[in-house]
Structure 1
Amino acid sequence: MSQPAIIEAFLELQDPRRRAGQRHTLPLCLALFTLAIAAGNKGFLAIGDWIASYHEELIELLKPAKNRLPSYSTLRRALLQVNYEEYGACLAKFFNIQPVCGETIGLDGKVIKGSYQIEEDNPNSDSHPAIMLVSTYIVERGLILEPWEVDAKTNEIKALPILIQKLALQGVVFAFDAINTQKKLVN
């Protein structure tokens, strides 16, 4: 029996929950959560009301085991343990979020506030540099692609050519801030 594509999108995610007492699969919980959020529901109580309102239609669409849907509290418990990076990657793959020819991609590096190590009371502690990420934003659709972490030994200026090569896009316009307009970067 074939499953709906929204459930298949989450099949590769590893379920971090205990096996004992599990009634609903993680892909079913994530599919319901994603559909509820896409329908405009904010908060788990609203999601629970949405599931109750569309109970018959959701059972027909998703075909869960024993024709039972999880409650909002089950969705909440499942979501508390999900790896959000993997969930985001599955969503991006499902929705096929890729820049297309003619779109503008904005690139900007930012340091994550408070990500550096401060131990003033321990003089023997090695400090480490702050974490820097380069954000990639599709301007026309208002979508954010996966951030690129800059190596600790370099900076945004040297990381951008690598990121652009990784994206390997043709016909896309890249927009940078002034720090990336240095003559030495242009070949």
Structure 2
Amino acid sequence: MVGLPDPRHRQGLRHPFVAVLLIASSAVIAGARSYAAIGQWARGAPQEALARLGARLLTSLNVRIAPSAATIRRVLCTVCPGGLADLTGQAPDPAESVAADGKSARGSRRGEAPAAHLLAAMTSDGRTGTQLRVPDKANEITCFATLLEPFDLTGTVVTADALHAQRDHAVFLVEAKKLSHLVR
């Protein structure tokens, strides 16, 4: 994959990058909608399927080893800013509420580069609908509308921290997204 370089460090790599992406994609095509479900699909995949997808070969036993759900999650979150939502190509099912919050990703600071700051939208049942990386020279405020733009929020309660108590955000949510409740 020339257009999508492997973002992982060479040391400690056990699974080919393309194989991780193909296994995750195959699991999603088969109906998996969470990282746990993708991991479960990968563990139960037949050896022939794992071989075709390029899974790692344990030569001493001549057995294909699928990556764990944690490995798949790490790779997808590094490659796709929206994580699983980008891979599945769909917004989460309608939820009673959506919470928007940002966090700096632990362990993402490299040398002089600041830590990756992510803004995420989570549903009331704990699923991350989408997330995006906040540009290094910006803050969460500039990314709020971009994060929530793809979702139908009609009749949904949106919660966010005080940082998002902005006039522009309220106007966006009420007028553009037809939101009925905004909780700060």
TM-score by length of 1: 0.48
Whose radius of gyration is greater, 1 or 2? 1
Higher percent of residues as strand: 2
TM-score, scaled to structure 2: 0.49
Ranked by relative contact order (alpha carbons within 8 Å, sequence separation 6 or more), the top structure is: 1
Greater per-residue helix proportion: 1
